[in-house]
Chains A and B, each alone.
Chain A
């Protein structure tokens, strides 16, 4: 078992087979730097619980392919990313920091799917982006690729 500590001082025990899906922790274990608790100063306990849930589920990925449980895993993944933007970004940052490639891909794909065909206004509103471009700068960007800003598929709704 490997002990992980979140930035709000909560400790979690995770099986080594699960936790080594994180390249960062795998390297630490290989280098003998994971003798006691591994502190994760960038990750809060709420996010870490999500990440551990993912790691535990994906521990037997190779086995799932053999036993035909891929559908089950796919369903889990779909459910897993069913979260708000803020939570999704927390998991992306954690996956980035821990270097968990599959989790990163899953979450980035989910974020990308939500942005698909959205208008500038919809993207700003969904992500609560503060527009720090001047009107001229924005127009310049649009003039650079006018083809991207037109078309019946552009979706101005926020959801």
Chain B
């Protein structure tokens, strides 16, 4: 006997909402009943971050999604610009966790304003943001930022070597932090030259990213600078 055929579709959706996007996709390939139950908003609403409505309301070009599933995959497949284009937001492909990207324009960059002989603002075809900053010459120091994210206790300071991402940009992980102290606060992350004053040319600075950790239930993020 097909146990699942006895269950009302709502109950099947309810069960699937306790699994993961991956398990739902697998289940949906088992039969028509499962496939239909796997479309339910009950499921995808639970996979979306708790505060997704707030994030979506900050969307630069508001859009209506016919279902929560479509919204989920749209956020997972490509980042959206929010807060007037200062931030981008997406869901991590495997885990569905939140990723924020802060445009280079929003960072405080030493010699980054009105000093084109140090840093020049250019548009890069890869970018979801309008501008990157590019260091044409000399001393590259950079960036103090205040993020309007939640945070506080720095868990470890573990700066790693840059690694090449699949899109060709280099990424350096700056560390991570853990927040259990509520909603408001600032976090500061810096990237700077500390060992000398060697000239660096054509250093492109793309963005700063904040990724929510997979395992943590509480807000916990990775911070990384992306450059090339």
In the bound complex, do residue B1 and residue A132 qualify as a contact, i.e. CB atoms below 8 Å apart? no
Contact A130 to B2, CB < 8 A, known contacts A92-B15, A116-B20: yes
Q: A85 to nearest B CB, angstroms?
A: 5
In the bound complex, do residue B30 and residue A148 qualify as a contact, i.e. CB atoms below 8 Å apart? no
- What are the residues of chain B within 8 A of A117 when measuring CB–CB? 22-23
Contact A147 to B19, CB < 8 A, known contacts A123-B26, A127-B2, A141-B35: no
Q: Does B31 contact A (CB under 8 A)?
A: yes
Interface hits, A56-76 → B, CB 8 Å: none
In the bound complex, do residue A112 and residue B26 qualify as a contact, i.e. CB atoms below 8 Å apart? no
Interface hits, A100-122 → B, CB 8 Å: 104-105, 108-109, 111-113, 115-120
For A6-21 the 0/1 string (1 means CB < 8 A from B) is 0000000000000000
Range class of the A interface residue count: 35 or more
Q: Does A29 contact B (CB under 8 A)?
A: no
- What are the residues of chain A within 8 A of B18 when measuring CB–CB? 105, 108-109, 111-113
Q: Does B116 contact A (CB under 8 A)?
A: no
Contact A129 to B4, CB < 8 A, known contacts A96-B11, A141-B29, A148-B26: yes
- What are the residues of chain A within 8 A of B33 when measuring CB–CB? 129, 132
Range class of the B interface residue count: 20 to 34
- What are the residues of chain B within 8 A of A108 when measuring CB–CB? 11, 14-15, 17-18
- What are the residues of chain B within 8 A of A46 when measuring CB–CB? none
In the bound assembly, the distance between CA atoms of A149 and B3 in angstroms comes to 23
Nearest B residue to A146 via CB reads B25
In the bound assembly, the distance between CA atoms of A22 and B65 in angstroms comes to 35
Q: Does A124 contact B (CB under 8 A)?
A: yes
Contact A89 to B35, CB < 8 A, known contacts A108-B14, A120-B26: no
Contact A92 to B27, CB < 8 A, known contacts A112-B16, A115-B19, A128-B2: no
- What are the residues of chain A within 8 A of B25 when measuring CB–CB? 141, 144-145, 148-149
Could you tell me the dominant secondary structure of chain B's interface residues? Answer: helix
Contact A86 to B17, CB < 8 A, known contacts A123-B30, A142-B29, A148-B26: no
Q: Does A78 contact B (CB under 8 A)?
A: no
Within the complex, which residue of A93, A130, A132 is in contact with B7, where a contact is CB–CB below 8 Å?
A93
Within the complex, which residue of A92, A115, A127 is in contact with B11, where a contact is CB–CB below 8 Å?
A92
In the bound assembly, the distance between CA atoms of A119 and B25 in angstroms comes to 10
Contact A112 to B23, CB < 8 A, known contacts A104-B14, A132-B31, A133-B35: yes
In the bound complex, do residue B8 and residue A129 qualify as a contact, i.e. CB atoms below 8 Å apart? no
Contact A120 to B3, CB < 8 A, known contacts A112-B23, A141-B35, A148-B25: no
Within the complex, which residue of A89, A96, A118 is in contact with B26, where a contact is CB–CB below 8 Å?
A118
Interface hits, B194-208 → A, CB 8 Å: none
Contact A128 to B3, CB < 8 A, known contacts A109-B18, A112-B16, A133-B35: yes
Interface residues of B (CB under 8 A from A): 1-8, 10-11, 14-23, 25-35, 93-94
